[in-house]
Amino acid sequence: MQYRNVGKSGLKVSEISIGTWLTDLSSTEKVSLAKETIQLAFEKGINFFDCADAYGNGAAERFLGEVLAAYPRSRLVVSSKVYFPTGEGVNERGLSRKHIFENVDRSLKNLKMDYLDLYYCHRFDPDTPVEETLQALDDLVAQGKILYYGVSEGWTAARLEEAHGIIEKRGLRPMTVIQPQYHMLDRYIEDEIMDVCEKYGMGITPFSPLAQGLLTGKYKKGQPLPEGSRATHQKDKQVNRLLTEENLSKVEKLSQIAGDLHTTPSVLALAWILRKKVISSVITGASRPEQLAQNIEASGLSLSEPVLEEIETILGYHPFFRRIG
Between the alpha carbon of residue 83 and those of residues 64, 66, 154, 281, the distances in Å are 20, 24, 12, 22
Active-site residue, 188 included: no
> What is the CB-side half-sphere exposure of residue 153 using CA atoms within 13 A?
9
| Alpha helices in the chain, H assignment, sequence order | 28-43, 59-68, 97-111, 130-143, 157-170, 193-200, 230-233, 238-242, 245-260, 265-273, 289-295, 305-315
Q: What is the Cα–Cα distance from 54 to 58, expressed in whole angstroms?
A: 6
Between the alpha carbon of residue 289 and those of residues 18, 174, 310, the distances in Å are 11, 36, 31
DSSP classification of residue 181 = B
3-state secondary structure of 300: coil
CA-based Rg of the chain, rounded to a whole angstrom?
20
Q: What is the DSSP string of 249-282?
A: HHHHHHHHHHHHTTS-HHHHHHHHHTTSTTB--E
> What is the CB-side half-sphere exposure of residue 258 using CA atoms within 13 A?
22
* Mean pLDDT of the region 85-101: 96
Q: What is the Cα–Cα distance from 288 to 148, expressed in whole angstroms?
A: 30
Cα–Cα nearest to 6, from 150, 207, 123:
150
Q: What is the Cα–Cα distance from 182 to 163, expressed in whole angstroms?
A: 22
Q: Which of 55, 119, 120, 200 is catalytic?
A: 55
Q: Give the pLDDT of residue 321.
A: 59
In one-letter notation, the amino acid at residue 246 is E
Q: Give the pLDDT of residue 325.
A: 47
pLDDT band at 2 (very low <50, low <70, confident <90, very high): very high
Q: What is the Cα–Cα distance from 256 to 15, expressed in whole angstroms?
A: 25
Percent of the chain with pLDDT strictly greater than 90 = 83
Q: Give the pLDDT of residue 21.
A: 83
Would the CA dihedral through 188, 137, 170, 9 be positive or negative?
negative
CATH of range 3-210+264-303; options 3.30.565.10, 1.10.260.40, 3.40.50.300, 3.20.20.100:
3.20.20.100
pLDDT tens column, 6-16 = 999 999 999 99
pLDDT tens column, 19-71 = 998 778 888 988 999 999 999 999 999 999 999 999 988 999 999 999 999 99
pLDDT tens column, 228-282 = 555 555 555 567 788 889 999 999 999 999 999 999 999 999 999 999 999 999 9
Q: What is the Cα–Cα distance from 42 to 1, expressed in whole angstroms?
A: 10
pLDDT tens column, 285-306 = 877 899 999 999 999 999 999 9
